[in-house]
Structure 1
Amino acid sequence: MTGGVLLFVQQASQRTVVAADRQAVEDARDDLLSLYRSGGAAALRGEMARRFRSVEGERAVLLLTDAAGRPAGGNLGAWPAGLSADGRWRIMSLYRVGRDEPEPTGVIPVRLKNGDRLLTGMVISNSLQLARIYEEALSVAFIMSLVLALGGAIMLGRILARQVSDIAQTANDVAVGALDRRVPTDGSGDAFDRLGASINAMLERIDALVTQLRMMTDGLAHDLKSPVTRLISVVEQASAQTRDDTALDALEKVHQEAQTLRSMLTTALLISRTEAGFGGDLLRDTDVGELLRDVGEVYGPLVEDSGFALTIAAPDALVFPLHRELLSQSLANLIENALHYAEGGDGIALSAALEDGHLLIVVADNGPGIPAESHAAALKRFGRLDPARGKPGSGLGLSLVEAVARLHHGAVTLADNGPGLRVMLSLRRP
């Protein structure tokens, strides 16, 4: 827009300067024509001589020719070739008498009575030079305005980027469970300050609601554990006292269901506490390879008894801040899931690697896997896919894994192992 304005000013300035010269030539033409009508060619030649002796004569261009084209007066040696006496303004290069170089000249040629012709003009080199000075000045002004505009845009962009970056960083922190994060505000009352205050108010409300929900879930799971534990104890005592096989079978089923319920409550309580951020301050630098080998040592015999082979791969001396107990429990859940659902497979692979500063832990099997459209459902709390309804479990295993990943500022992703399932934990440093 600035360039358009400056271009308009430049064109307007040039037109104004040239228009002033044109008006001067038109006035001189009118004066000479008036004198010619009253006094004839002799009076016209006398006026032309007088004008050459005056100050304005330094720029004047005049020529009077007879019907045969012979010069009768003026400071041009001959009538310009191809120039018709039509009375129109035009700019052309002409040689004045006594000049070695052509000069830009604005002329108006007219035809007189008896075939005489009169050319009235003015050297406009100074005007064109002034127009070029205007053009150069406006070009410099345009460049300076462009630099200033670019500098202002960069500064504004950095300010906006910093403001947006603060909001984005807060959103990322909240997304990984840090509900206490808030957008920085400076109290200036500008648009970003008001936006930050609105987002902070929303986060306060979300934090309060989530805290209430976690407290209710935590309290419910905690309160239910005691009666379930007492129920298990009563069933065990009843089983020890009865001799009826039918009653024993019924009590055994009740005992199994009660055990499952207690496991669900324990896991739900652990998930609730993990999502509430408990344990986040217990992240310690841990040898990842050693942790995987310890998990393999505990679950290796169970895996082999189930007809699978457990392989472990991790680079040496890979140290990462981890909550050892919770991550071990998560990996145990994933191995148990593979044992339960990887029918037709024969191997479970547990691996770890450092990629772009993130710790990537993968548990993969070569069983039937999970269809891609069911991955989201499998990660939901109490989410169990229809073919798995007859299997033991609570549907909380992957929920715990996801909660532990968020505690480590990461996420869980399910992928096709071709064949089988790959469960990937991508963990970030705090």
Structure 2
Amino acid sequence: MIRPRSFAPRVALAVAVVVLITSFLGAGWGWLRAQGALRQQLDLVLAAEAEGLLRDYETFGLRGLAEVAESTSRRRGPLLVLLQTADGRPIAGRLPSAPTALQGFATWRRGGGEVPLRVLGAVLPGGANLIVAADLSSVDRAAYALAWAPPVAGGVAALVALLLGFLFGQGLERRLAAISGAARAVMAGDLTRRLPESGRGDEFDRLAATINAMLERIETLVAEVRQVTDDVAHDLRSPLSRLRQRLEAALARARDPAADAEALEGAVEELDGILATFTALLRIARTEAGAGREGFARVDLSALVLAVAEAYAPSAEEAGRELEVEVAPRVFIQGSAPLLRQALANLLDNTLAHGAGRVRVSLRPGAVLEVSDEGPGIPPEERDKVVRRFYRLDRSRGTPGTGLGLSLVSAVAGLHGGALTLGEGPGGRGLSAVLTLPGDEV
């Protein structure tokens, strides 16, 4: 049902009013133009008739002209002819109340009546006056007939506009009702609801597709927030419980400066780990929200990778691991150097903590950054999960860490318009983490 204030009927009514007003204005303008054009044509006809009569006068004289004038007057037609003396006495023809000594064109009403006449007068050499006239009422009727064409067409167009507006309004109301219903369902908490699409690919479908993509993104973000909340509650409950138990145990025993200092040091260590977890979560959230993009600059990725690899060389040596570095020269990208440095550091920390064998860091033009090892790797079914916050493999739960390293790397890749891909290492062994970024080789 169309509401009185619906958009489509109001637009259709406005269009109909504009069409009607325009058509009536066009009728007035058309009447003036048609009347002027028809009267001009009538003047040409009168001039041609008068010229023919003047030639008859030159050939046959006044008597012959009188006979022609009388014969013309007896014929039933639009033209009237009058031949009269200089003092107004008629010689031939019938045109009552005609002016005397008329020269040129004039308009008057026959006998003072309502019928207008268009006349053309000529004074003959002998003083006689020749008048040729025509009824203007036929011209006016033709002008009126032409002038009424725009209002009639405008009225039909207005009715069609109203009908189309009504039909369009019904379709629009149905589509908007469906969209409103879906929006209310989303507001009520059903984030799986999507706006309907007609399949015609029109503006409404394109808008619905955009909003559906937004709703899908919102659903994903809300699900991630819920997952993060659950993970935070689950992963931080244990260290907080341990911290509470440690402090309660310290309070319960007799005061011993050395034991109290040890308990406080342990508590600070636990708190540092918790704070590090929250810091990592905050950095991931800011990165996924696009924070830091405003500080993008041209980064020499080749120099950055070499610097980070050099900083990690002692750690690899202490772990008894060989660090192999292969970097293509002069690879530049637009990005954030601190975030890229942190992402590479996380990858190296991950492979040194959980991998085995030789660690290989390579940078190829494009830019493609790869960190691989020869350790146990990650099963294919687990590779999409390990980039989630707090997700850890069963074999890694006993090692230090929070399960946020790869999540940050993935967020940094997304911020730079790239992607993190996990696969098998060289020779089908170990893990290969490939960070693909949009860059240029210079």
TM-score, normalised by the number of residues in structure 1: 0.47
| Structure with more relative contact order (C-alpha pairs < 8 Å, separation 6 or more) | 2
TM-score, normalised by the number of residues in structure 2: 0.46
